[in-house]
Amino acid sequence: MIQLTSITKVIREPNGHPRTLFADLHFRLGDQDRSVAILGRSGSGKSSLLRLLAGLDTAYRGEYLADGMLLPRSAAGMARHRAAAVGIITQRYDLLPERTVLQNVRLGRADKQAATEEALRSLELVRLRGLAATRVRHLSGGEAQRVAIARALVKRPRLVLADEPTGALDASTEGEVLELFARLQDLGHRFVIATHSPTIAASCDRRLLLQDNALAELP
Ligand SMILES: Nc1ncnc2c1ncn2[C@@H]1O[C@H](COP(=O)(O)OP(=O)(O)OP(=O)(O)O)[C@@H](O)[C@H]1O
């Protein structure tokens, strides 16, 4: 389904020195892979890899293929790919606390009626429809996380990228998020999850370790 081939990425450290983040990195997510965990120590580049998969970063060497087609490197081309196929759950959720749950989920959509219907359907999936009119600042951490998931799902993306999705949650809320992810996988969404959580890693079909600038498959 998606494939990164021979990716090399060099970043500049704050002191101006170049640092190789990825060197000849390969990644493949097949149609049969429901969920893949990306593990690795802090600073190894997990979030950077998700940004690259999301098309938010195009400053790398190598190839990114989706369904066998080479993706365009332009910002507009990657934005189209993202809009058609990718949902992103960011590490800090990036919700607007003074807006309602519904407003956060349908954010930025021009057609109000259709956008509202899609957002409500998405909230239904994460079982938060009842809180649609609630301001986000009144939510618990677990509820806010589900709003972030609903927003990522609003365009029914095949690929969902989740960056440390349960980092701020207690163990039982983490369990609820995992159940939700499993349900969403049954509906056809595929997940790539950057995580430090052994529980999440164990729940995934595959585990990849980001180490020494590349990915290695773990047993
Ligand atoms: N475009 C960039 N320019 C400069 N530095 C960058 C850039 N992108 C990432 N970095 C640096 O690359 C390193 C990897 O960051 P990243 O957030 O991807 O790691 P991570 O594995 O997700 O870490 P954590 O587990 O703590 O979230 C960090 O040192 C970060 O500051």
Q: Which of 3-17, 28-42, 156-170, 203-217 has the lowest mean pLDDT?
A: 156-170
Backbone φ, ψ for residue 119 (5° rounding): -65, -40
Q: Residue 3 corresponds to which tokens in the numbers above?
A: 């494939």
Q: Is 21 in the pocket of ligand 1 (CB under 6 A)?
A: yes
Nearest ligand 1 atom to alpha carbon 57? 1
Query: For the whole model, what pTM was predicted?
Result: 0.92
Residue 193 C-alpha to ligand 1 middle, in angstroms?
16
**Residue 43 near ligand 1, beta carbon < 6 Å:** yes
| Cα–Cα distance, 81 to 181 (Å, whole number) | 22
DSSP letter at 42 equals T
Instruction: Kindly list the distances between the CA atom of residue 178 and the CA atoms of 158, 168, 182, in Å, as whole numbers in the listed order.
Output: 18, 14, 6
Residue nearest to atom 27 of ligand 1 (CA): 42
Confidence of residue 192 (pLDDT cuts 50, 70, 90): very high
- Cβ–ligand 1 distance for 48 under 6 Å, the answer yes
Residue 111, pLDDT score: 73
pLDDT over 70 percentage in the chain: 99
Give the mean model confidence (pLDDT) for residues 17-28.
96
For position 219, what pLDDT does the model report? 86
Give pLDDT, residue 174: 86
- Residue 11 Cβ inside 6 Å of ligand 1? The answer reads yes
Indicate if ligand 1 lies below 6 Å from the C-beta of 55. no
Q: Quick check: CB of 42 below 6 Å from ligand 1?
A: yes
Residue of minimum CA distance from atom 18 in ligand 1: 45
Q: Average pLDDT, stretch 136-163?
A: 92
105-147 residue pLDDT tens: 997 666 788 889 999 999 998 899 999 999 999 999 889 989 9
* Ligand 1 contact, 50 CB (< 6 A): no
pLDDT tens-digit series, residues 45-81:
999 999 999 999 999 999 999 988 888 888 888 888 8
* Contact 14 CB / ligand 1 (< 6 Å): no
Long-range CB contacts for residues 106-112, cutoff 8 Å, separation at least 24: 106/154, 107/151, 109/154
Band the pLDDT of 155: cuts 50, 70, 90: confident
- Give the span between the Cα atoms of 89 and 8, in whole angstroms: 24
CA of 43 to the centre of ligand 1 (A): 5
The per-residue pLDDT for 30 is: 92
Residue 16: the pLDDT is: 92
Q: What's the pLDDT score for residue 17?
A: 94
Res 79: pLDDT: 86
